[in-house]
Structure 1
C-alpha cells in the first residue's frame, strides 16, 4: 500500500482523538473573565499534541535477517523509501515519523517513512521464492502496551495495517535523545498471530505467535498543541407568541400585576422560645450555631489531590508507579481524604489551625527493587485567617541527582491557600473551605525535588470541619459535584484554575512560574509537568506539560506580549 494514504489516516486520527479528548482538561468558565474571550472557548486546553521528526529503530528479528542473508537462503535485504540499515546486517531505521500524543490516555500514534524487503531462495527462472516486505510502519502505544503495524506484502499479496508486533512498555525508562527528542529505548516486542502469517513459507510459518522479536526504539519530538474543538454557540430561540393578557371584567378595574401595588401583610414576629440572632431575628434554615464559640475542633476532613499531572505521571507508563494512602487517608474520586480533623478554631478572629490523620505516598521508577521516585506527605494541617492560609505537612522525598539522599522535614509549608471571605465563617456548626486555590511554596518545591517551581498551581484544597461535637460531618460528596468534595454547593472564589493549568490568575488563567524559554520541545514543557528526569530521564517527563505552554501562549495573545 502506498505511503501516501497515511496523511489522510493521520488527519482522521487527529480529528477523532481531539474530539474524544476535548473534555479531559478543563478550566472553570470564570478563568477567562477579563480576557475578552468567550469563556466556553477558553475553558478547554488541548489534550493532544503533534509529534514530529520521529524515528523507529527496529530489526524485526535478528535470526530472520541472518537466515535470509545466510548460505541456505542465499538472499538479501533491501531498504527503500527512506529506510536505512545498520552495517553488518543490523537493525533498520524508519524516519520522518509524524503523529499525535493524547495526554488524556497517555497514547502515542506515530507513522514512519520507509520499507524493508526480505528476498531469499532464488528461482532458476528469476525472482525469489521468499519475498516479504514491510512498509508504512506505524507505532501505537496506550499506557503500558502498544503495537507495531505495517502493510505486509507476501507472495504478491498485500495486507494493510497488519499488527505485526505487540509491545510492552511497563519497564521502559524513557530518556533524552538528540535535539531534545524523547526516546523510548529497547521496547520489548513479541510476534502476533497475524504477524506470524507474514513469515509463512511453503504453507508453514518460521515462527509462532508469542515469539520474541527484536526490541524497538522510538524517538519523537513534540510539535504544536492541538486545541480541542469548541462547541458552536447555539442562538437563543426567539419567542413569537405574545403572553396572554388577563381578561378584564366590564365595570371592574384590571387586576394589579405590580407586587408593590398589592396589600402587604406585616411580617410575623418570631415565636416565643425560638432561637434568635443578635439582632433579634430568627436565623434562616441551616444557619443555627453560626456563632460557634472558640475551642477545640470536634472533627474534620481535608480533601486534596496534590497535583493532577503529577498523579498521572506517577501512575502512567513512564514512572509505572502507584499512590498509597494509609493511616487514615483514603482515595476519594480523583482526590484523597485525610480524616479525623483536630485542632483549634477561633470564631472571633476568625482563625483556624486544623490537623488531619493520614499519609499519602507516591512511588515509581522501580529499578533493582528500589523506587527512584519516593515522596511521602503526612500530618497534613491547615492554618488560616482572613483570606489567607497555609497547607503544612511532614515531608520525606527522595532527591534526584543526589545519590539517593532524602529531603526530610516536619512542618513544611507546602502551599499557600487563597480563602474566600466566608471560608472561616461557621454555618450550622461547620466550617467549609471549598476548593481554595493552592500555589506551591519554595519549601514545597523541595518536596518535588525541584521539578515544579515556586508559584506553580497545585490542586485546590477543600475541607469541612465540625466546630460542635453534636454536629456530624456530611458524607463525602453529599449535594456536590466531583469538583466540590466537601458537600457544599457554592462556587469557587473566582481565583482562576483548579490546579491543572495555572496558579489562579483570574485575569488570564495562565500558569505562573512556568515556561522559562521559547523552545517548544519536550525538555521545555512548562510548570505543570516535571521537566527533569524523575528517575534520570529529563525530556521524557510527559508531553502533558505542553498544556502549560499552551496556557502561556494564550496569555501572550491576550495581553499583546
Structure 2
C-alpha cells in the first residue's frame, strides 16, 4: 500500500560551493524517480517509562494486533510489512506499516489504539492513526526523528500531539525510545538492499549521483527477528572517573501533591543546579562526579542541587520546612542506596540513606561513553521515614530514579525527558483546593490516563479518598512535631 504523504516532497535545485564540496553545483529534477519498497519492519517502544506506567501503576495492557508484536518483558513494539517508496535523488524514504496497538487501563480510564504507523524520513517523523475516546484522527505526528543513513537506533523526540495522546503534558519535547527501520524480506521487483551498489538514506557525499541512486536504501536485511541498535555503540573504558551526569527523581508524587495542595498550602523550590519539571513534576539534579567500573558493575555518583519543601505556614513560620541536597546514588550488581543531606526545621543531618535502590538489570553498560540506568526502584528506609517525620513508613515505594553519567569530557548526555523546568522553579498552592501547575486535587484529575512525568509515580487520579485521609494524618504529624519543638 503506498504511503499517504502528509505533504508532497518537492526537490528544489541545490547549489553547493566548490570550497565546500569540491565540485560544481548540480540541479535535480523535482520529479525524481521513486523506487518501490516492501518488506520493511519498524521497531519503536514509544517511551520506556510510559510502558512501565501502563503495566505498573495503571495496571493496564498493551495489545498488539494485525501483525504487530511486542518484545518480551514489556519491550518495544514492531510493526510489519512496511511498503512505500525511495526517492533516489533526495535519498529519502516513505513507508507505511501494518499492525495496530491497543493501550488500555480500566483503573485509570483510558483506551488508545495506534494503527497505520508511518515513517517519513523527509519529514523526519513518525505518524499514526490514533483512536481515543471513540474518535479516530489520521496521521497524528507522534515523534520527530533524527534520521540516520543506517536507519537504526535513531533518536526520537515526542511531540505535543504525543503528549495529548499519552496523557502527560511533560512528554512534549521528551526523549522517546530509539527507532529502527529495517528490511526483513526482499520481494520480486524490489532491489536487494545488500547489494554493494545500494544507496543510503540522506544526502550523498558526492555531488554527482552514483549508479546506486536508483537502488534501495542501505539498511541491510537482518537475519534476527529484532534489531540490535547497540551493536555499533562505542565501548567506554572499563573504569574511571565520572565527569558529568544527571539524576531524575520526584521523591514521591503524593508528597509533592500534598505540599502544594490545600491542606499544607505550601510551595516547592529547586535550587543550586537542580530543577523541577512543570506541573509540579519531578526534579533533575546535575553536575555528577564519582567513579564507575563496568566490569564490576559498580557506580557511585554525587549530584549538585537542592530541593526545599515548605508547608503549613502560620504567622510567617512553616511547620514543614524540609530540604534535600547533595544527593548520592550507588549501585553494585543492580542494587544500591540513595543518600542526601537532610535539613528539617533548621537541623541538618548529612548522608542520610533515604532509599534502597534496585535496577532492572545488574549490568552497567556504557554506550558512547555514557552509562544510563532508568526506572530504578526506590524504597523508603527507616532513616528516610524519620526524615519525613513519619509521614511515610519504612518500605514505602518512592518515585523511581533515572540517572545518566558521562565517562569522558566529550560524551553527550541524553537530552533528558524534557521535563525539567528552570532552576528555582516553585509550585504554589491554589486556595480553590487544586494545586498549581495543572495537578488537581480531585480524584479524577480531569485527564484520562494522566500520569506523573516520570511515567511511573502514582497519578493524582489514583490517590482517591484513602490518600486524602493519609495526607490529613501526615499534616497532623508535622504539626505535632512543630508544637513539640516549640515547647522545647
TM-score by length of 2: 0.45
Bigger Rg over Cα:
1
TM-score (norm 1): 0.39
